Structure 1
Amino acid sequence: MLGLKIILVLTVNVFNLVSPFDFDFPNLPTVEDLLYGPEPFDNRIVGGKNASIDDHPYQVSFIVNNSYFCGGFIVSENYIITAGHCAQNVDPSTVVLRAGSTYRKNGTIIPIAEVIPHPEYDNPRFDKDVAVMKTVNPIEFTDTIQPVKLPKKGRKLKDNSMIMVSGWGRTEQGASSIPESLMDVEIPVVPYWQCFAVYFTVLTRNMWCGGNFVLGGQGTCQGDSGGAAVQDGQAIGIVSFGRGCGQQFSPSVFADIAAPPIRDFITKHTGL
């Protein structure tokens, strides 16, 4: 009976802290964030550290129509993957995509020929958050521009195993700007049942969560959307959404690349 009371108290406390109806895509800073340089940040994506493109050569950044910012990752010489919510009604000619630099305003510009979001994205809400971007010309690979491997369909994640996420997203909730230099953070995979307890109105089997569930302090934030979560040299997730940035009981949510609806979509459009 005592154990049951403890569980009930913890459950009530969690749902007092986290409203499952208060969501925010971890992306889309305003154009002012992009045009005006950020204030210096210390070594913290949220709770992370300064990183080098040498460690994440698949990482790209892009601006759409000079209005919002997202990340993405190279998977072949002709294709880049990002989040579906970064690719809605996008004219490819308005995309300025950069690769090969630690600094988001530098790097090689890669022209985009086609932007293809998953046709069933956001049905149900936030689900199948994936898009494929086709390049105008084959990407010329270098030491700092390389593809990342993709998992086999149906690959299962082990609870509490570690994943790496990189990006130029804000380093804390409510920050007025995004960093110039790439950052990364290593976080654990949150057991599905824990994530479901928070995001039960939207979480599907095409998603998984990562972060320090109880303590918070690490995760993705605005500007990181579309970036890859990497484990064992494979991109296993796409930064999708979350409640705030690194909050307690509010892990980051990722689109599961190995989930059949997402993996099949990628294969259909890339051949990978």
Structure 2
Amino acid sequence: MLSFIDSPTMSVKFFLALLALGVASCVASELVSPKSSAANSNTGLGIYDGQKTTIQKHPYVASLLLDDSLWCAGTIVSSNWIITIAECVYSISTSDLSVVVGSNDGQSGKKYTVKSFTTHPKYVYGYFDYDFACVQISGKFKWSSKIKPIKIGTKEPKANTKFSVAGYGDTTGMGAPANNELLQGTL
């Protein structure tokens, strides 16, 4: 069992969160490159055709800063862990990263230093396969209306179920700098 799982029931929730992240990665890889799982490292996925939203509607959204600049989005999964894509932490030192939560713009919320991170052992840079990382903060998140772990369903979703996504990132598909507004969309 992984050390960041807060309770025995969290293991099922964590598995379902990783499953949802994997489904989103598969959908994204088909949208970017249907013939290959290879990703262009400059592509930078984001919320395309998204609408502005608020952190109160998506209090599980975190931002990952690289040298104090918005770098990637993540999802709060427990009191001191977020999940993001592996490309966001690949070949980067923990001292160059920080996590911000409770923010509509990805930078003005509560900031935490990164204690450690780990990527899936089968992750290969530049590919969507196994493209996720677990990032541990120093300390623990303080829960509020703007900062909460994601709620994970306990049942498998039915076929063709729509789900919402939220985050920051390139909204052009051209590798533009990360958007600093929290956006939401439906898959």
- Is the CA contact (8 Å cut-off) linking 1:73 and 1:80 kept in structure 2? yes
RMSD: 2.9
Asked which structure has the greater CA Rg, the reply is 1
TM-score using structure 2 length = 0.69
The match for 1:160 is 160
**What amino acid sits opposite 2:40 in the alignment?**
D
Quote the offset at 1:173 in angstroms. 2.3
Following superposition of structure 1 onto structure 2, how do residues 55-94 of structure 1 map, counting pairs within 5 Å? Answer: 55-65=57-67, 69-94=71-96
Given candidates 10, 20, 24, the residue that maps to 2:35 is: 20
Q: Distance in 2 between matches of 1:106 and 1:167?
A: 15
Identity %: 26
**What amino acid sits opposite 1:159 in the alignment?**
A
Give the number of the structure with larger relative contact order, counting CA–CA contacts within 8 Å between residues 6 or more apart: 2
Following superposition of structure 1 onto structure 2, how do residues 166-185 of structure 1 map, counting pairs within 5 Å? Answer: 166-174=166-174, 176-185=176-185
The match for 1:51 is 53
Q: Distance in 2 between matches of 1:175 and 1:108?
A: 27
Q: Distance in 1 between matches of 2:57 and 2:45?
A: 25
Partner-residue secondary structure (3-state), 1:75 = strand
Partner-residue secondary structure (3-state), 2:87 = helix
Q: Distance in 1 between matches of 2:71 and 2:124?
A: 20
Which segments of 5 or more consecutive residues in structure 2 lack a partner in the other structure?
Answer: 1-32
The structure-2 alpha-carbon separation of the partners of 1:24 and 1:165, relative to structure 1 and needing over 3 Å to count, comes to farther
- CA deviation string 1:126-153 (max 9, x = no partner): 322221111110111111011113456x
Partner-residue secondary structure (3-state), 2:186 = strand
TM-score using structure 1 length = 0.49
Partner-residue secondary structure (3-state), 1:47 = coil
- Is the CA contact (8 Å cut-off) linking 1:91 and 1:115 kept in structure 2? no
Count matched residues. 153
Quote the offset at 1:52 in angstroms. 0.3
Partner-residue secondary structure (3-state), 1:110 = strand
The structure-2 alpha-carbon separation of the partners of 1:175 and 1:93, relative to structure 1 and needing over 3 Å to count, comes to closer
Q: Distance in 2 between matches of 1:104 and 1:67?
A: 9
- CA deviation string 1:90-138 (max 9, x = no partner): 3211112211011122111011111111112139x43222211111101
Quote the offset at 1:59 in angstroms. 0.3
